[in-house]
Chain A
Amino acid sequence: MGLIARVIETFGIPTICVIGLREIAERVRPPRAIHLKWPFGHPLGEPGNRAQQLCVIYIALQALYTVRESGTIIDPGWRWRREEYEEPDRWDLP
């Protein structure tokens, strides 16, 4: 996935990757990444947990504006099934 992001970015389109394996991202170095140490197949969280999914999308889109250095990996530290999420109420980024 990081390889695809790099290609898209060379076409002038900013990308944000949600990643589960930091070690792979450190090798492939996608332009920007959100690291969530969650099970494979669950990059945005648990089925039915809309607030969690929207929180991941929000923090990912936010990174499109905040990351200034290529290869940056943001780790929000959200633990699997041990966090409470609230739907973002404002999306006026940046």
Chain B
Amino acid sequence: MVLTKEQVRALAAAARIGITEEELAVLTPAMNRTGQYIETIREAPIPEGITEEGGGKPATANPGRKDQVQPSWSREAILRNAPQQAEFCFQTPRFFAE
């Protein structure tokens, strides 16, 4: 895999991460070095019969919790770390234009 600066810029936009031109110049070759290394996985001689499902979950099953109402955090506590709040809500810039 070889990514161009334009592709990295598009990835950054998709990931909602601001990057400067200077960062782009460093990130693009760094990502491509990792990408070249990752290419080797396509040549892995994976034995017959192995499916990706075996890689997706731990060997041991997990138990579920009882579906019971439990005490939770107060609204004040949850909002304590909010960068901005109003009327017991997280406040964000406007989503839709007026």
B is a partner of A: no
